[in-house]
Amino acid sequence: MSEHENIKPVDDLGPLIGPDYTYSSVGDKVSSIALGGRHPLPWFVVLGFAGLLVGLLFFSITFLIAKGVGLWGINIPVGWGLAIINFVWWIGIGHAGTLISAILFLFKQDWRTSINRFAEAMTLFAVACAGMFPLLHLGRPWLFYWIMPYPNTMKMWPQFRSPLVWDVFAISTYALVSLMFWYTGLVPDLASMRDKATRKVQKIAYGIFAMGWRGSARHWHRYEIAYLLLAGLSTPLVLSVHSIVSLDFAVSVLPGWHATIFPPYFVAGAIFSGFGMVCTLMIPIRKLYGLEDIITTRHLNTMAKIMLATGLMVVYGYSMEAFFAFYSGNGFERFMMHNRMTGPYGFFYWMLIFCNGLSIQLLWFRKVRTTPLMLWILSIVVNIGMWLERFVIVVTSLHRDFLPSSWDIYVPTFWDWALYVGTIGFFLFNIVIFVRWLPIISIFEVKELIHKNKHARRSHE
């Protein structure tokens, strides 16, 4: 008895799920978002806005393919530019979804239950956006399959000693495993939607994707084994993906890129930005659909703490980069750091320090962590900051390397921005469609949580 008193929450944030929820009412609440058919006005506004941006995306892709990458601001020495910045930014955002669904599952963190479905969906859409950039950056994207190893008449094979080829394997594995993890988690809930649906079309559609799931005890038994193993597989996978992305930089000999700190520093940054995006999306959605008692203030508080922790790791990375440059005694390294702070892109560096270093110090205050509006604004600042981080890393290292005669200034063109903004629209469009058709909260896992709470209460009494 005294043991249970000890583990009782000592704060006033309340339980992880509203105490009045029953198995049935939580299912009704979540499925009614998709089955009810009535959506708040902001849903239509975002749909329309995102739809326009998707149009812009298609237009800029078409124009790009017709004209070539010369449309962009890239040139030697800055050959990567916005395409790779956006690629790293989007992949990083995806990582929070896998962290929430896999790593927190292994650590038995109950609070993940209300947000994992949504975060996994976010991962999928972010990876889809990320994948576009390297493909379009190829210049001749229709020959993308040349990067895969397959027997061909050119007798041409990928160079497996290159991180760029590791990247192809890492990203495609990550996309596939994330998709399977997400779909596996969805199947029991789709069955639940099938059984709740009243219209024939809905019944058939959900029925097809539920694959005849009937909640058999033997099925659940295998399902849990598979889910646990997928979580165990996704955990090292997600760490490997951003490590490999960072090796794209770190394996080169360029000052500012060639650093051993890159893999852990990139992974921390990825999770940081991903939690930023989860907060950016979840806070308005919980409000619009009245989910405040499923995605509670306690959830926001915990996510904010993770943002603070990973943000501090990133800040540690920035200080170590600066320290290494100084301590190495290498003139090129020192010049790079000096140029990064005071050169033509110095403003962006200090903006990045403001967004990722200073602003997140507000998260030490409980008031900020538990006030949705403040947390939401801060999460947007973090998203911007993480984009600036990638901009600073890519551009400042490339634009002034060893030879002053090859220095140049990189300025993104309209088409750079159009493609980037287009992918944001594509991402939002997918989110909006997901909210419309699928259960955005894992129904069966929340029911499990209710069951667990009942047990805890009973043994407490």
Q: Which of residues 201-230 bind other proteins (CB under 8 A)?
A: 207, 211-226, 229-230
Q: How far is CA 419 from the centre of its chain?
A: 19
Instruction: Assess contact for 356 and 315: CB atoms under 8 A.
Output: yes
Q: How far is the CB of 210 from other proteins (least distance, A)?
A: 9
Given the complex with other proteins, which of 163 and 256 has the nearer CB atom? 163
Q: How far is the CB of 180 from other proteins (least distance, A)?
A: 5
Looking from the CA of 407 toward its CB, the CA atoms found within 13 Å total 12
Task: Tell whether residue 24 is a contact of other proteins (CB under 8 A).
Answer: yes
First to last CA, the chain: 8
Q: Which two tokens stand for residue 38?
A: 């009535």
d(CA 80, CA 136): 12
Q: Residue 329 CB, nearest distance to other proteins (Å)?
A: 28
Q: Are 234 and 177 in contact (CB under 8 A)?
A: yes
Exposure string for 205-214, b = 16+ CB within 10 A, e = fewer: bbbeebeebe
CB-nearer residue toward other proteins: 263 or 422: 263
- Of 67 and 451, which has the nearer Cβ to other proteins? 451
> Per-residue x/- marks for other proteins, 161-180, CB under 8 A?
x-x-xx--xx--x--xx--x
For other proteins, the closer of residues 64 and 231 by Cβ is 231
C-alpha dihedral, 39 to 42 to 43 to 47, nearest 10°? 150
Give whichever of 156 and 358 is closer to other proteins, judged by the CB atom: 156
DSSP class of residue 139 equals S
Residues 6+ apart with CB under 8 A from 417: 82
Residue placing its CB nearer to other proteins in the complex, 27 or 412: 27
- Residue where the block lists tokens 């099925």: 219
Question: Cα–Cα distance between 29 and 49 in angstroms, integer?
Answer: 27
- 306 CB-near residues (< 8 Å, 6+ apart): 271, 275
Kindly state whether residue 267 participates in binding other proteins, applying the rule CB under 8 A.
no
Q: Which is nearer to other proteins, 178 or 280 (CB)?
A: 178
| From 19-27, 272-280, 331-339, 408-416, span contacting other proteins (CB under 8 A) | 19-27
Cβ-contact 363, 308 below 8 angstroms: yes
Restricted to residues 236-255, the positions that interact with other proteins (CB under 8 A) are 236-237, 240, 244, 247
3-state secondary structure of 41: helix
Min separation Cβ 150 and other proteins, Å: 11
Q: How far is the CB of 202 from other proteins (least distance, A)?
A: 13
51, 141, 158, 344: residue in contact with other proteins (rule CB under 8 A): 158
Judge contact between 59 and 82, C-beta under 8 A: no
Q: What residue type is 193 in one-letter code?
A: M
Q: How many residues sit in the footprint of other proteins (CB under 8 A)?
A: 60
CA 202 – CA 260 distance, rounded (Å): 52
Q: Which region among 35-43, 130-138, 399-407, 440-448 touches other proteins (by CB under 8 A)? A: 440-448
Least CB distance to other proteins at residue 311 (A): 28
233 is a site residue for other proteins (CB under 8 A): yes
Least distance (Å) from other proteins to the CB of residue 125?
Answer: 20
Contacts with other proteins by CB under 8 A lie at: 22-24, 27, 149, 155, 157-161, 163, 165-166, 169-170, 173, 176-177, 180-181, 183-184, 188, 191-192, 194-196, 207, 211-226, 229-230, 233-234, 236-237, 240, 244, 247, 444-445, 447-448, 451
